[in-house]
Copies of this chain bind each other. A is one copy, B any other.
């Protein structure tokens, strides 16, 4: 027996080395391998354990055995320590309509959009059919939000350590609108607002919509916003708000620890500066438990919590929400001013889906997929890109932040890639001050495919060419 399972392990190892099973591939099931090798299932299981011990396979709960991804040699990006001055936001030149219809035929590595294969299509369809049959309820204005939706949100928020009632919830057209309403509620045009750097472009655009100045705070690739940087800014400028993606921030995937969230909340409370928290990636943690939002540590009701289902259930619903706390009256009025209410059917459908209880089950599989697809893309980037390239190690979500070696231009790579129908997000989008010219953000939500593999190889080659042209 001992000899037999070792023989099977050797043969499997050879198949891996020959590329029959490639990095990240799932091995066939034990029954199938048992037939294939003509051995018992327990022999196959022993062979698997042997290969796991040798570092070739990786077991994943309820999913079977996978070819282990090689340790990636790319380092994490380092935090850029910079001192900034507040500047008016003009995101015009850096908005590139990355998700317009025209771009839908390109290799989709640009936008932070979940992949359709991993959305809960069947469940949301069932819930939408249910909602459509409700008749008159679907036609009614839903200001400040459908009660059923707000109740489900209140229930979920309670599980995150934020005990609220449905009346504390305002339904919005996605988190983007929630952030704009939050900014309107606590600032006047011309005010200064602190954001992470690199920053999600939507937040910079929100600041532009409201006519605000921005100060960019250095952000650590895994620990998140620099509290020291924020403290400096608080001492130096009359900040009126601070916008932070606390969990799996876009573009770097950083997650602030509970300890740092507490410090963030109390620092801002001491300075009487509201925190606008964007938690859209919170549900998509790659391991461990659901991270808490900063709002859970909010003792002075000064955190405006914003989120949406665009990264989990579907971007096409355009359904988000906010918990504005003591700024509710103002946020509510601004919502009424900008478009009166959020469409009823999506709210009813999502409320039904949440009530049915399928959301958490769905999240489990989505999280596993995004963890794997992100790891896989990270490995591919590390292999294809020039030495000296750094790649983020996101702790959730589905984007990667790629920092090219000094002097290599993310913008040029972006332009060349578009000419080959590969869509990526150039680093310059993530700052008002052109700080990230040598960076790219890649969407890691896609299931692995030949097409993605080749696109990454091409991007790496373009970065090499750009480096060579500079030398």
Interface residues of A (CB under 8 A from B): 91-92, 95, 97, 99-101, 113, 116, 119, 121, 124-125, 128-129, 131-133, 135-136, 138-144, 147, 172-174, 176-177, 180, 189, 202, 205-206, 208-209, 211, 313-319, 332-334, 336-346, 349
Contacts and interface: CB of A to CB of B under 8 A. Distances in A.
Given A95-B336, A205-B337, A343 B173 contact: yes
A93 to B, nearest CB: 11
A100 B147 CA distance: 12
Contacts of A100: 143-144
Q: Which 4 A-B pairs have the closest CB atoms?
A: A139-B314, A316-B344, A128-B132, A173-B339
B95 A143 contact: no
Contacts of A317: 139, 343-345
A233 to B, nearest CB: 24
A136 B128 CA distance: 12
23 contacts: A91-B337, A92-B333, A95-B336, A97-B143, A101-B144, A121-B136, A124-B138, A124-B139, A125-B133, A129-B133, A139-B313, A139-B316, A139-B317, A140-B315, A173-B342, A176-B339, A176-B340, A180-B338, A205-B336, A316-B345, A318-B342, A343-B345, A345-B349
Contacts of A136: 116, 119, 121
Nearest to A344: B316
A69 B459 CA distance: 76
A132 B125 contact: yes
Contact of A315 (B141, B147, B333): B141
Contacts of A91: 337
Nearest to A348: B316
Given A139-B124, A211-B211, A318 B339 contact: yes
Nearest to A137: B316
A131 B138 CA distance: 14
A206 B119 CA distance: 36
- Chain multiplicity (copies): 2
A143 B339 contact: no
A94 to B, nearest CB: 11
Provide the main secondary structure of the chain A interface.
helix
Contact of A99 (B101, B141, B180): B141
B140 A116 contact: yes
Contacts of A129: 129, 132-133
Given A128-B132, A345-B349, 17 more contacts: A95-B337, A99-B143, A100-B143, A101-B147, A121-B139, A125-B138, A129-B129, A139-B315, A141-B315, A141-B316, A189-B211, A209-B334, A316-B343, A317-B345, A318-B340, A338-B338, A343-B343
A338 to B, nearest CB: 6
Contacts of A113: 141
Contacts of A177: 338-339
- Residue among A131, A173, A202, A345 facing the most chain B CB atoms (10 A cut-off): A345
Q: Which of A202, A333, A341 has the most B CB atoms < 10 Å from its CB?
A: A341
A147 B102 CA distance: 12
A278 to B, nearest CB: 14
A318 B121 CA distance: 23
Contact of A345 (B128, B174, B338, B339): B128
Contact of A116 (B92, B131, B139): B139
Contacts of A349: 345
A447 to B, nearest CB: 14
Nearest to A172: B339
Nearest to A113: B141
A116 B141 CA distance: 11
A211 B97 CA distance: 26
Contacts of A334: 209
A209 B189 CA distance: 11
Nearest to A138: B316
Given A135-B121, A138-B128, A173-B173, A97 B336 contact: yes
A119 B92 CA distance: 41
A386 B128 CA distance: 51
Contacts of A205: 336-337
B343 A319 contact: yes
A208 B184 CA distance: 12
